[in-house]
Amino acid sequence: MANNVNSHPPLTVEHLSMRYHHKPVLTDVSFQIPEGKSIAIVGPNGAGKSTLLKGIMGLEKTIEGQVKFFGESLDKKRLSTAYVPQREEIDWDFPINVMDVVLMGRHGHLKLWQRPSEIDRQIAEQALKDLKMWNFRDRQISQLSGGQQQRVFLARALAQQANLYLMDEPFAGVDVATEKAIIELFNKLKDQGKTIVCVHHDLNTVGEYFDWIVFINARLVAAGPAEEVLTKENLNKTYGGRLSLLNDLTEEMYRTQLNKAHDTE
């Protein structure tokens, strides 16, 4: 089911270039993503994956290029776009409980100084239940495990009721239960026609968890459906010599993709 926000793709990146301390980090990156899919941004450490996401969200300066959200600027589509940063970037000692964190996802829908309504609280409640965190609603976020903290921030994004979700390594360092909860969330969002873009580091799961892949290593290597772009050639272009340690893995991934393609014929 599509949301039909308009006829434009959820995210269009055109000729994006970024520098860090005068050193090029990303050069001339362009791609579009389809609606209602899960998309992984994949590449080696230092490839510019998180920088790309921050550049897209306007959190770090770009030196060239433009980004469109459903054909318009981020300012015009901010309510339609939710961002989940890496857990390491959050001050987990801030004195706030779980429910209040999730209600922050409703702030964009409120007028200045307006308090959350009963409907806002119901939306936050459902988001916590979807992430299996309702029983922790009164807990201080500093008292949660890493996986629980991640689920709270995903619930905050879910409460925003956006159409496009950008997440920076949501699977990093989480427990099995949280990983399962994230996958269930992805499936639910896609069933609603929502689009998810994630920085992802685990090549073992990228073909299983995501519909599309964007390979990045300072430049765009490839972008498209996982079954088309998850190839040994693109992996070698992206990871170079560092892929020699992953030969067994890439062979297994390659066989898995071939089996998937064969099963759908």
Give the Cα separation of 183 and 180 in Å (integer). 5
Distances (CA, A) of 61 to 14, 15, 20: 15, 14, 9
Q: Which residues of the chain have pLDDT under 50?
A: 1-5, 244-245
Question: Has residue 5 been placed in a domain?
Answer: no
Q: Which amino acid is at 36?
A: G
Q: What's the pLDDT tens digit per position in 165-189?
A: 999 999 988 889 899 999 999 999 9
CATH of the domain at 147: 3.40.50.300
Q: What pLDDT, on the 0 to 100 scale, is given for residue 35? A: 96
Q: What pLDDT, on the 0 to 100 scale, is given for residue 129? A: 95
Q: What pLDDT, on the 0 to 100 scale, is given for residue 2? A: 46
DSSP string, 3-43: --S-SS-SEEEEEEEEEETTEEEEEEEEEEE-TT-EEEEE-
What is the token pair recorded at 80? 């339609």
Q: What pLDDT, on the 0 to 100 scale, is given for residue 90? A: 77
Name the DSSP letter for residue 111.
P
Range of the structural domain that residue 196 is part of: 11-264
Q: What pLDDT, on the 0 to 100 scale, is given for residue 3? A: 46
8 A C-beta contact, residue 242 and residue 229:
no
Give the Cα separation of 195 and 165 in Å (integer). 6
8 A C-beta contact, residue 259 and residue 230:
no
3-state secondary structure of 93: coil
Give the Cα separation of 153 and 159 in Å (integer). 10
Name the DSSP letter for residue 211.
S
Q: What pLDDT, on the 0 to 100 scale, is given for residue 241? A: 61
Give the Cα separation of 207 and 126 in Å (integer). 29
Give the Cα separation of 179 and 37 in Å (integer). 18
Question: Has residue 3 been placed in a domain?
Answer: no
Domain count, the chain: 1
Name the DSSP letter for residue 65.
E
Question: Has residue 6 been placed in a domain?
Answer: no
Q: For the chain, what is the radius of gyration of the CA atoms?
A: 19
Output the pTM of the full model. Answer: 0.86
Q: What pLDDT, on the 0 to 100 scale, is given for residue 198? A: 96
